[in-house]
Structure 1
Amino acid sequence: MCFEHPEYLRLFWGFPLLVAVSFYGLLRTRYLLGQLCDEGLREHIVVTRRPLHEVAIRLVPLLATACFLFALAGPLRCGGNHGRLDIVYVVDISMSMSAADTHPDRMERARQEVMAIEVGRRLGGRAGLVGFAASASVFCPMTADREAFGLLVRRLSPLQAQHQGTDIGRALELAASMLPDGGGIVLVTDGEDHGSDAVATARSLPGRGIATLVVGVGGDNPVRLPGSFAEGEVTSALDRHLLDALAHEAGGIALYAADGADVASTASRMFRALSARRAGDAGGVGGVDPGRGAMLSGIVLLVVALALHGGRSWQVDGKNVKFSSGPDGRFSRSIKSKR
């Protein structure tokens, strides 16, 4: 079994402590009653619950808590994809991304688009991050930890590029190697490419079970890049022609932030449809989803816990006495002699 959010499983380390504290209270109460008087006298002057009732009242809420923690971790059956899709975000961090022809600049807009797509995902799955300029590097390996992923996205900057230039083909190849079982690639760039094999690499992606979304950031008119360069003034503009060609060869979609496109919604629909196809190709998923089953079990256990607290059975003077509350809030009791 796999987990979409395995970081929540760490909470189970505190579970033995909860069990110990709960049953320590029970044992401590019985010990103090034993110090108060002997067992024969205690049956006549002290009202106590039956032992099994005491244990159930403490144990059932703990079991419900365990079910909720298990569901929170997002359990998955690893034998199938269950419609969940792994996505690698490929983000341009070359110097051209520092251009300010989109607010506040291309790099910040790229970060915003990546996080909007990732936050908008509803089907789960892991995310990875590749940053590229003249070379490509893995900035975040495949992970289900959205918080850690977001932190690494926010750190993306042209200052992290080891060598300036832009090689989209190398970045796509690296991203594809992170998806051996297929998935999705989101390429976010202004389209400037100094490599030679980007279109060829994009053409190979559908055969590897990878869907591609191309997100173009920047404007169509050339703008001057901030900073000083040996070549003098350097300008940059969005290359729609290349990005359209990449999307076409990859069998994907090209969207442009400058056009006001709702990138996150389009990405959500695109990847949701792909997830449904993948689940269908796998023959569907039989049985109850583990996470949903754990959640339902937790709810049932909470109802049982409330029922245990609602009608309480005690032992008084050697007889079983059951107290229950009626619709008017008043208590009634029934007495049954022990045999």
Structure 2
Amino acid sequence: MLRFAHPAVLWALVLIPVLALLFLIVTRWKQKAIGRLGNKPIVRQMMPEVSFSRPWLKFGLFIAALTLLIIGMADPQMGSKTEEVKRRGADLMILLDVSNSMLAEDMAPNRLENAKRAIAQLIDNLNENDRIGLIVFAGQAYVQMPVTTDYSAAKLFLNTINTGIVPVQGTAIGSAIDLGMKSFDFKDGTGKAMIIITDGENHEDDAVAAAKAAHSKEVMVNVIGMGSQQGAPIPMYDARGQKAGYHLDNDGKTVISKMDENACKEIAIAGGGVYTRATNANSGLDMVMNQVAKVQRKLYGSKLYKDFEDRFQFFLGIALVLLAAEFFISNRKSKRLSRIKLFEVKNT
């Protein structure tokens, strides 16, 4: 398959017919000028060293070289095939809490943004053969991105996450773990782990039981706690994104969201992983990733996209040869060749 890295450069090819037209106009003008001097055959005999065919040859070489130069500058590329390669890695699923309590500002700028920043840091430090997936959850859990080695795509998905991405509020950590288990492909035999990033306020299901079930299938469940035990109010925002007060309970009092550290620890222990609490100064990733590094990495097949290969060198090389040839060809006849008169009839 052929493509051009800079297709806009090909518009310069419109110069070719324009230059050809100009050359024909100038050539015709020269012929008329010679015709005005007298009989053409006689005039040509008066200019024995002038070649009337070489300008056409030189112009042909110049036009061919210019065409190849333009094509070369457009950078033609060949390739575009996929190939099956073997890679050794592990599958890592990130479970991110996007409930409203993650907007609490006891971490700068808030728990959710701090968590997203930590995930971006994690992606940057992953082993290049590890696959990563992303699940968001509040009252329900959704696969935001299935496991992949495309880390750039992972960051794009990460940037779109906010608390409005899940319509049902709450904190269903157990459902997120169950969905993570369903998202894994256990046939490939790769090691698997989960990292739950949450404030631990689980109100919907039995997350500890879900973590135990995951661990029984050799999936390590780790937890990073976001927030403080002292807690912070949960801000509300208007349609313009401006802060519009804080969430209130049924008695009209400001709701204070506190991180449930005990719940986070229980989930991590049940899942055979570790628990760490993030702070403004430390995301807690180092401890968790050291644990994840223990996950056995096995070979798995992955289809990789093979980049296009540049082919501009061939076009530019031929163009330079043609330009050199055009430069060394004179407009005058060769004296040696002009002496050879194959079809001249001699009078005897």
| Shorter-chain TM band | 0.5 to 0.7
User: What is aligned with 1:149?
Assistant: 157
TM value normalised by structure 2 = 0.61
Determine which structure has more spread, i.e. the larger CA radius of gyration. 2
User: What is aligned with 1:326?
Assistant: none
Distance 1:172 1:21, change over 3 A: same
CA-to-partner distance for each residue in 1:9-36, whole Å, 9 max, x for gaps? xxx6x87954752544334433432343
Provide the rounded CA distance (Å) in 2 between the counterparts of 1:18 and 1:34: 28
Q: Tell me how far 1:205 sits from its aligned partner.
A: 3.8
Q: Tell me how far 1:253 sits from its aligned partner.
A: 4.1
1:236-255 paired onto structure 2 within 5 Å? 236-255=257-276
Provide the rounded CA distance (Å) in 2 between the counterparts of 1:102 and 1:210: 30
Q: Tell me how far 1:263 sits from its aligned partner.
A: 4.5
Question: What fraction of aligned residue pairs are identical, expressed as a percent?
Answer: 19
User: What is aligned with 2:16?
Assistant: 26
Q: Tell me how far 1:172 sits from its aligned partner.
A: 1.9
User: What is aligned with 2:249?
Assistant: 229
Distance 1:310 1:252, change over 3 A: farther
Q: Tell me how far 1:189 sits from its aligned partner.
A: 0.2
1:146-185 paired onto structure 2 within 5 Å? 146=154, 148-153=156-161, 156-157=162-163, 162-180=167-185, 185=194
CA-to-partner distance for each residue in 1:184-232, whole Å, 9 max, x for gaps? 5432101121244323323344676756543211113355554211265
1:192 to 195, 198, 201: 201
1:236-275 paired onto structure 2 within 5 Å? 236-258=257-279, 260-263=281-284
Provide the rounded CA distance (Å) in 1 between the counterparts of 2:136 and 2:127: 25
Distance 1:53 1:95, change over 3 A: closer
Provide the rounded CA distance (Å) in 2 between the counterparts of 1:45 and 1:305: 22
Q: Tell me how far 1:235 sits from its aligned partner.
A: 3.9
User: What is aligned with 2:69?
Assistant: 57
Instruction: Give yes or no for the alignment of 1:220 onto 2:229.
Output: yes
Larger fraction in helix: 1
Unaligned regions of 5+ residues in structure 2, if any?
Answer: 32-50, 235-245, 332-336, 338-348
CA-to-partner distance for each residue in 1:302-335, whole Å, 9 max, x for gaps? 5556655666423369679xxxxxxxxxxxxxxx
1:98-177 paired onto structure 2 within 5 Å? 98-121=103-126, 123=128, 129-139=134-144, 144=150, 145-146=153-154, 148-153=156-161, 156-157=162-163, 162-177=167-182
Structure with the bigger RCO (C-alpha within 8 Å, sep 6+) is 2
CA-to-partner distance for each residue in 1:224-270, whole Å, 9 max, x for gaps? 55421126564443233332343344444433212843545667777
The answer (yes or no) to whether the contact 2:223–2:264 under 8 Å persists in 1 is yes
The answer (yes or no) to whether the contact 1:213–1:252 under 8 Å persists in 2 is yes
Distance 1:152 1:173, change over 3 A: same
The answer (yes or no) to whether the contact 2:115–2:226 under 8 Å persists in 1 is yes
Provide the rounded CA distance (Å) in 1 between the counterparts of 2:22 and 2:216: 72
Distance 1:147 1:109, change over 3 A: closer
TM value normalised by structure 1 = 0.62
Q: Tell me how far 1:170 sits from its aligned partner.
A: 0.4
Instruction: Give yes or no for the alignment of 1:313 onto 2:324.
Output: yes
CA RMSD, Structure 1 to Structure 2 (Å): 4.6
| Number of residue pairs matched by the alignment | 288
